[in-house]
Amino acid sequence: MTELSDIWASAAWLLGLTLVALLGVFQRPLRQAWRRRQLARQPFPAMWRAVLRQHWPYFKHMPADLQLQLKKRMQIFLAEKPIIGCGGLTVTEEMRVLIAAQACLLLLNRSQNRFEGVRQVLLYPGAFWVQRPISQEGGIQQEQRRALSGESWTQGQVILSWDDVLRGAASPDDGNNVVIHEFAHQLDQAKGAATGLPADISRWQRARWAAVMSGEYAAHQHRAAAGQASLLSDYAVTDPAEFFAVASEVFFEQAALLEQQHPALYEQLSRYYRLNLLSWS
């Protein structure tokens, strides 16, 4: 009888632990949603507003409702995503605000959960050096040292050069923006390696996305091989993931030109980002 009582007691104890664990699993999203609502209700700091007006001309061209939405996204982003200085850099509020503003463009009309996998932003003063293997003739691998302005890791880190972040903010219509580029990779990497086909594209849009993007990518490769000028940078030739990230930069910064020269590509990105940038002017 004692053994049976002990068994029942152990079973009840394990059941209790399981229920507590399950309760925690279900409570976490509720706590997060409550915390985010509280953050979004807080007044937007005047100093942050001054940084946007002084260093990011893009902001003043946005519709008022999207400006408000962006500011709420920024408040949540900066509360949840640490920005860590590297290479001796001391991170300032100006740096934090400009990174958050440009990153959160990709969240407009979408859930904050799209950046759930972003754990931290590592910020260097300028271009940073990395070692990367490259393939030589005959399949030989050789280490090459390269200077980068940004990088996105599947482990949830985004690495940025402050010089390039500031340059991208100051020139909002040149189609080059390292923050947009690297955070587009994070959207693409939400469920693994970047492929140019983000996992959050709806099931009924995936076939059309794949057809348009593969066609545009092949056409861009052909133009680059022929030495023809293109709205998209040559770096977009690297692979479909880089093509998506480069196209995202151009979409946000040169929407009218993208729609004129690549209407199908503009349409897909407009659907994906849930924005019609042509209506902003």
**What are the DSSP calls for 92-136, one per residue?**
-HHHHHHHHHHHHGGGTTS-GGGGTT--EEEEESS-EEEEEEEE-
Q: Check whether residue 163 and residue 43 sit in a common domain.
A: yes
Burial class (CB in 10 A: 0-12, 13-18, 19+), 101: buried
Q: b/e for 143-178, b at 16 or more Cβ within 10 A?
A: eeeeebbbbbeeeebbbbbbebbbebbeebeebbbb
What is the structure's pLDDT at 29? 83
Q: Check whether residue 41 and residue 160 sit in a common domain.
A: yes
pTM given for the model: 0.85
**The residue to which tokens 């409570």 are assigned:** 27
Query: 166, 124 in Cβ contact below 8 A?
Result: no
State which of 177, 206, 235 marks the end of a domain: 177
What is the structure's pLDDT at 54? 96
Q: Which of 49, 148, 48 is nearest to 92 (CA)?
A: 48
State which of 121, 151, 177 marks the end of a domain: 177
Q: Which CATH number goes with the domain that contains 92?
A: 1.10.472.150
131 beta partners: 145
Q: Check whether residue 107 and residue 207 sit in a common domain.
A: no
Assess if residue 21 is contained within a domain. Answer: no
Q: Low-confidence residues of the chain, pLDDT below 70?
A: 1-27, 131-145
Query: 241, 196 in Cβ contact below 8 A?
Result: yes
Q: Check whether residue 209 and residue 270 sit in a common domain.
A: yes
Alpha-carbon distance of 215 to 58, in angstroms, equals 30
Q: Check whether residue 211 and residue 244 sit in a common domain.
A: yes
Neighbour tally for 30: CB within 10 Å: 9
**What are the DSSP calls for 171-215, one per residue?**
-TTSS--HHHHHHHHHHHTTTSS--SS-TTS-GGGHHHHHHHHHH
Number of domains in the chain: 2
Q: Check whether residue 117 and residue 147 sit in a common domain.
A: yes
Q: Check whether residue 69 and residue 103 sit in a common domain.
A: yes
Assess if residue 236 is contained within a domain. Answer: yes
Pairing of strands 120-124, 83-85: parallel
pLDDT digits (tens, 9 = 90+) for 137-179: 666 555 666 778 889 998 999 999 999 999 999 999 999 999 9
Distances (CA, A) of 114 to 88, 110, 210: 31, 8, 20
Query: 188, 150 in Cβ contact below 8 A?
Result: no
Q: Check whether residue 150 and residue 216 sit in a common domain.
A: no
Q: Check whether residue 200 and residue 173 sit in a common domain.
A: no
Range of the domain at 86: 29-177
Q: Check whether residue 138 and residue 221 sit in a common domain.
A: no
Assess if residue 2 is contained within a domain. Answer: no
Q: Which amino acid is it at 64?
A: A
Q: Which amino acid is it at 252?
A: F
Q: Which CATH number goes with the domain that contains 226?
A: 3.40.390.10
Neighbour tally for 136: CB within 10 Å: 10
Q: Check whether residue 95 and residue 68 sit in a common domain.
A: yes
Q: Check whether residue 36 and residue 145 sit in a common domain.
A: yes
